[in-house]
Structure 1
Amino acid sequence: MAEDNPPDGWGQPERRVWEAYRRGEWCDDVPEVGGRILRHLLIAAPTPHPGCQARLWLRGARITGDLDLAEVTAAGSIRLEGCRFDQPAVLDSARLGSALSLDSCTLPGLSMVGAHVGMECEITACTVTGTVDLRSLTVGNWLSLKDSTVRPPAGETAIDAQSIEVGEDFWAPGLECTGNMFLNSARIQDVLAFRGTRIRDGGLQAPELTVGGGVYLDSGFFSAGQVNLYGATIGASVSLADCQLDGPGAGRGAYALLLRCAEIGGDIQSDRGLEARGPVDLRDTSVRGSVVLGGARFEVPSATPPARAALDAARLRVGGDVDCRGGLVTHGLIDLCDSRVGGSVLLEGAELTAHGDEPALRANGAETGGVFNLCDGFTAHGRISLNSVTVRSRLCFNDATLDGPVGEVTLSCRGSSAATLSMHLRTAPPGLVDLRQSRFGLLRDAPGTWPTGLVLDGTLYDSVHPALPARARLPWLERDPAGFVPQPYEQLAVAYRRQGRAADARAVLVAEHRGLRRTLSPPAKAWSLLQDATVGYGYRPLRAVWLLLALLTVGTTLFTLWPPITVGDGKAPPFQPTIYTIDLLLPLVDLGQERFYSSTGALQWGAVALIGLGWLLVTTVAAGAGRVLRRT
């Protein structure tokens, strides 16, 4: 059993510390105590007074010399409040069965490498002018760095907490540190809360971090360097509200936020105030909830390579929504390529500005189970690329401004599919909208905001609204910069037929042949003109009827006034001018008049003209009818 009296040679201040330890009371009347005294007190711990718990509670003292508690085992709690240390405190591999609390202390450094604290470890409102080294620290309950300030010499690490294990929460609200903070491979059972933490001249490095609850980098969190959560496993949500990330900008692997290949059990939540000055990387991350970025601002500095996205979320997996409503602003590319969103992508009111030659938004190969909204004030200063996108519901551009390069592709939506494509744009895009090879159930647009250039080759849709008459819809098909393309005409005609508007369908198909005529050789153009004038390429058969009646009337009148002469052997039937005219007009019909009668003189040329016109009329009718039957 340890002695109850202090060692010989101790002065009155040291004896007061000894006695306060035995009683478990605060010792606040000792202005100065040596570090070796505290070490001896904990190693050769005296017997506590009956009914008391031995513990070291020291307030307002200056601790001189080294405080070396390496490998010390102490059962009672250690609480130092308002103390000033001459030398760094060393607790490497110490085993503290209860709590450790440093409150409002000033230290030139703190080392707790491999230490074990059975309950809470609190370093609150302290000022540390060296490194806080917590590598492999194990804390049974919670770890707190609340309101502390860590300012090591330039170039040195501020806080090194690699591989720590915390049984409950790790709190650092109000922490101010200059230099990097390391949490590599740290394991936090419940919550990691860095609310209001400010990291200057460094960043937060926490790859492979494991947190059972949520991660809170909000309420004024600031990092002047990269926040690295690569491969992190987070059981609940990540909060980035009112958070400012000033990433290192240019350079390989330099990001404001690196949250790549992470597993997040809740949301990524930033409903207000997130500012990221540097690339943000969410590639290959899985989010069980939603990604909420309303009101966030993403910007890549001018020194950053243009290919680096302001928000790179390629192959992102989201169970809920990607919700960017509320004024998202980006200066640089948003990349959602090959992402999978179980809910909706909501970019209402967002303003995206391209960086360099990159698009403002690229989501090639993305899939969403709900709507994909780029509407209600959405503005893109640059190209938008949505190739091979699958939208289970509506792809919407209503009241959107697509301010792409003049004469170049403004919106590329090739090979995509959506139940509805709605393009009631705010203004007509100055560039090209490319919808080739896409599939939509319903296509909605507004004639007043049709783009300058529109590519519809291979585009399929069940219906188009508004239900304009063909003459008003045809200019929509004539905006392809490649010139005449037949498939869009065929598709529009199919849509009209589905709506029971056969006359409009025929008008579109006639317009298709007129467009094709411009590409033909002169003889083929002449033949096309004849088919157009006579039977409307087979879609206007009444024209043939009226032409036949007109020719029949002319022939009947002609041959009534100047009957032909009888020819041939045998008894000729009575001459009938009308039947004779029909015999001339219809080359495949023999009514017995043409064999027995023949016109002479000038009348002969009238008969020849009727025969020629009959052949031409019958041939064009047959060609047009065959074309119609093939489509039917």
Structure 2
Amino acid sequence: MRRTLLRAASTGSWGDFRHRPVDAAHLRDLCRAPERVDPRGLMIRNAKIAGLLDLSGMDIPFPLRFEACEFAEPPLFDGARLHELALLRCGLPAGLQANGLRVTRDLDLSRSTIAGALQTPASTSKQSAIWLCEAEIGGRLLCVGTRIRPGGIRAIHADRLRVAGAVRLINGFEADGEVRLIGAHIDGALDLSGAQLRRPDGGVALALNDMNLGGSLFLIGDATHRKPVVEGRIDMGAARIAGQMIVRDAELGGTAPLTGPYASSRSGGTAISAPRAAVNGDLSFEGVCRVHGGIDLSLGEFGFVHFTPECVLDAAGGVALDLRNADLRSSVELADGVTVRGTITLDGASVGGNLLLRGVRLSKPGDGPLLSARSTRVLGDVEAQRLHAEGGSVDLRGAEVGNNLDLEAATLFNPERFTLYLHNATINGSVRLDAGFSSDGEVRLSRTTIGGRLDLRGGTFTDRDGHAIEAEGLVSRGGMYLGWARVSPSVNLTGAQTTTLADDPDTWPGEFLIRGFTYERFGPLTAESPPNWDAGPRIAWLARQSSFEAGPYEHAARVFREHGHLAAAEEVLISQRRHARHAATRQAGASPRIRLWALMDRLYSLFGYGYRPGRAGWPLVALLVAVFVLMLVPSGAGTLRATDPRGNVYTPTGRLVTVSPVSPPAPGTLPDRVGDYSTHTPSRPSPDPCGDGQVRCYNAFFYAIDTVVPLVSMGQRATWYPDTHTPSGEFLMWFLNIATLLGWVLSSVLVFSFARLARSV
């Protein structure tokens, strides 16, 4: 055996020992005499290494290669300096100890099977099958098809490992314990293609905390389509990756809660725990990825974060994807078809591109929201078309979106609770809840500022209790397009502001609040349809408010008036007065004063509250005509009398009725003539309607004006009065007095109406 060993050493060729034992002491002696070894190295095949191979602290300038060898005891390389070390298809049932190892080129453990549970001074509490703490590898660390079966918790313990090349744990690499690379510095890539990492107790399967990776991290299928599997948690807290992190067709799962310095309050059952991690390139989950447990990327820095359609994030009742306070330099995309059970949280995150959630299915969030993006800043769009969210809310409280928020055809189901929560958010573009959007729960838009449009055309909004849409204090600078397909039971737009109100008044719910709701114009719901400036539907809409408010009427009238629809504005204000009266009288226990006011207001309404002067003008003209005709015919005019200062009485025909009373006849004498009256002169009176200029001349037209329009005096009514000694005179007196009262009312209404119109001009 010794001769074979020396021949292999001197010639630099493979020494095949055919499963015979080789004394570890002989190997050590050769390593201590490098002049006896060919520069190509010492290569041993099919040997059983007997005894302890202890090369600790040695400086070995030639390669050491072992193939298909069995080591009875764990080889020791602590502090050694080697040119190259290869343990290919070897069996190490007791483990491998190489803390502080320095390898100029590669450390290759490919297709070897390593077991054991060594404990070293590097850790006083944990055991591991392989120890590489503070080792330095000038080339690559290769574990192609390597199988590690530790007797303890850890498979590889390599804290602060430094590798100038890549670390490749690929092509069927299996580890039934923790692979620990905390604080490692790897200049190349970390390749886990087809790796199988299992932690039976559900703890940490791969620990990469504080790792610095100069290349990319690959957790993908290998050339034989073997899928990577990690049963346990991947810890990457504060890791730094200069390239990409690609996870493809992987099965990841962690069930044990996270503890220790990298723990967060919601890390129970976390599959990937990477708070404060940084990935300079893309972070992609591709193919058929199944992640059982949450992905914690909080406080991290990432480029493009991407999940392809067949990915499933399953953290039911917990946080499925945690991006709280993360700095995302590009977009975050969950592609159409991604299924998420649990909560996606981006609270306080900054997204440099778009947040894309098209066609994603969200469910089972526990007590929290399905999507939480409170105080999140998105420079681009939030696109969630066809999003399906069941059992929780989409919460964007205080978020700022640089462009549009699009939930076209999305389905949000969270009965009696919130479905969409945009309280105090700022959307610089438009908000689309249209084209088949459906919400079963409350959509809250209160105090939200929208730089573009709020588009609800074709949306369905329902809630079993409360408002289907709560938008108190909403500001939408590009207009509100409220052509919803259905909304029930109520809408609250108290204090909302917009430029264009485009709606169908007939489709509003049975209850709605619009106190303080302001808009500048009415607009069409579609580009093909003209705006509706018909006052009738708008008045009916205002009348259906949950409670009477005068402000919405006044604002609608102002909008009509500012756009030249004066008649419509007046109709709205007339309706306001009418509904105000109804609201006052409907109140229980209305006082007599209020009821009297209501009665007077009802009378005033007959004349359009001053907005319809014709309603008072035409009756006034009719009354003038009636009085004029009556005072023109003999049956009316014939009963009038006038008295001059001397007491002479005249009729409109000029017939002198009385000049002065006759003195009583002397006793025993007869009067001058038969009758009650006579003249002082022997001449007979002549017909004169003006009484010889002693009274105002009678004119039926001016008499009618003087009677019906008491605001002016023509002197006719003061001069001519009905003779109440006759039946027709008594009737005429009552008729004229009533006409005066009616004329006063109608004239006053007419004057006030014109005064109101003058103020409106």
Distance 1:352 1:43 in 2: 67
Over the matched positions of the two proteins, sequence identity in percent amounts to 24
| 2:432 is the alignment partner of 1:373 | yes
Aligned 8 A contact 1:24 1:57 in 2: no
1:169-568 matched pairs, under 5 angstroms: 169-173=216-220, 174-202=227-255, 203-234=271-302, 236-241=303-308, 242-247=310-315, 249=317, 254-301=318-365, 304-305=366-367, 308-354=368-414, 357-405=416-464, 408-418=466-476, 419-426=478-485, 428-465=486-523, 466-482=531-547, 484-518=548-582, 519=584, 521-533=594-606, 535-561=607-633, 562-563=636-637, 564-567=640-643
- Which amino acid is 2:46 matched to? V
Match of 1:40 in 2: 55
Distance 1:243 1:21 in 2: 53
Distance 2:44 2:698 in 1: 141
C-alpha spacing 1:160/1:624, structure 2 compared with 1 (3 Å): same
For the residue of structure 2 that corresponds to 1:150, the secondary structure is strand
- Which amino acid is 1:134 matched to? L
For the residue of structure 2 that corresponds to 1:158, the secondary structure is strand
Could you give the per-residue CA deviations for residues 157-205 of structure 1, whole angstroms, max 9, x where no partner exists?
2111111111121222243111221111111112122223322233211
| 2:703 is the alignment partner of 1:580 | yes
Aligned 8 A contact 2:617 2:750 in 1: no
Q: CA deviation at 1:58?
A: 3.8
For the residue of structure 1 that corresponds to 2:451, the secondary structure is strand
Aligned 8 A contact 1:269 1:291 in 2: yes
C-alpha spacing 1:90/1:581, structure 2 compared with 1 (3 Å): same
- Which amino acid is 1:195 matched to? R
C-alpha spacing 1:220/1:34, structure 2 compared with 1 (3 Å): farther
- Which amino acid is 2:111 matched to? G
Q: CA deviation at 1:609?
A: 0.7
Distance 2:756 2:742 in 1: 21
Distance 1:33 1:14 in 2: 11
Q: CA deviation at 1:247?
A: 1.6
Aligned 8 A contact 1:168 1:189 in 2: yes
Distance 2:438 2:38 in 1: 68
Aligned 8 A contact 1:352 1:380 in 2: yes
Q: CA deviation at 1:499?
A: 3.3
**In terms of mean alpha carbon deviation, does 15-24 or 100-109 score higher?**
15-24
Match of 2:191 in 1: 144
**In terms of mean alpha carbon deviation, does 99-108 or 588-597 score higher?**
588-597
Distance 2:422 2:232 in 1: 37
| 2:147 is the alignment partner of 1:106 | yes
Q: CA deviation at 1:472?
A: 2.7
C-alpha spacing 1:57/1:128, structure 2 compared with 1 (3 Å): same
Q: CA deviation at 1:421?
A: 0.9
- Which structure has the larger Rg? 2
* Structure 1 unaligned regions, length at least 5: none
For the residue of structure 1 that corresponds to 2:544, the secondary structure is coil
C-alpha spacing 1:31/1:430, structure 2 compared with 1 (3 Å): farther
- 2:40 is matched with which residue: 18, 23, 28? 23
Aligned 8 A contact 2:611 2:756 in 1: no
Distance 1:559 1:169 in 2: 110
Could you give the per-residue CA deviations for residues 13-65 of structure 1, whole angstroms, max 9, x where no partner exists?
9999999995379x69436558964x63994414469xxx9533343221243
1:583-602 matched pairs, under 5 angstroms: 583-599=706-722, 600=724, 601-602=730-731
Distance 1:338 1:631 in 2: 43
Match of 1:79 in 2: 108
- Which amino acid is 1:284 matched to? G
Q: CA deviation at 1:138?
A: 0.8
Paired residues, number:
610
For the residue of structure 2 that corresponds to 1:359, the secondary structure is strand
If the length of structure 1 is used for normalisation, what is the TM-score? Answer: 0.90
**In terms of mean alpha carbon deviation, does 320-329 or 181-190 score higher?**
320-329
If the length of structure 2 is used for normalisation, what is the TM-score? Answer: 0.75
| 2:634 is the alignment partner of 1:619 | no
- Which amino acid is 1:400 matched to? G
Aligned 8 A contact 2:472 2:492 in 1: yes
Aligned 8 A contact 1:295 1:329 in 2: no
Distance 2:44 2:334 in 1: 45
Aligned 8 A contact 2:166 2:188 in 1: yes
Aligned 8 A contact 2:9 2:38 in 1: no
For the residue of structure 1 that corresponds to 2:519, the secondary structure is strand
For the residue of structure 1 that corresponds to 2:312, the secondary structure is strand
Could you give the per-residue CA deviations for residues 527-574 of structure 1, whole angstroms, max 9, x where no partner exists?
2222221x3111111222211110101111222231221146382221
- Which amino acid is 2:698 matched to? F
C-alpha spacing 1:423/1:43, structure 2 compared with 1 (3 Å): farther
For the residue of structure 2 that corresponds to 1:278, the secondary structure is strand
Aligned 8 A contact 1:13 1:30 in 2: no
Aligned 8 A contact 1:299 1:331 in 2: yes
Q: CA deviation at 1:224?
A: 1.8
Cα RMSD (Å): 2.8
For the residue of structure 1 that corresponds to 2:468, the secondary structure is strand
C-alpha spacing 1:14/1:71, structure 2 compared with 1 (3 Å): closer
Distance 1:507 1:340 in 2: 42
Aligned 8 A contact 2:456 2:481 in 1: yes
Distance 1:456 1:171 in 2: 56
Q: CA deviation at 1:71?
A: 0.6
Distance 1:179 1:21 in 2: 45
* Structure 2 unaligned regions, length at least 5: 1-7, 13-21, 65-81, 117-128, 221-226, 256-270, 524-530, 586-593, 646-692, 725-729
Distance 2:411 2:166 in 1: 46
| 2:180 is the alignment partner of 1:120 | no
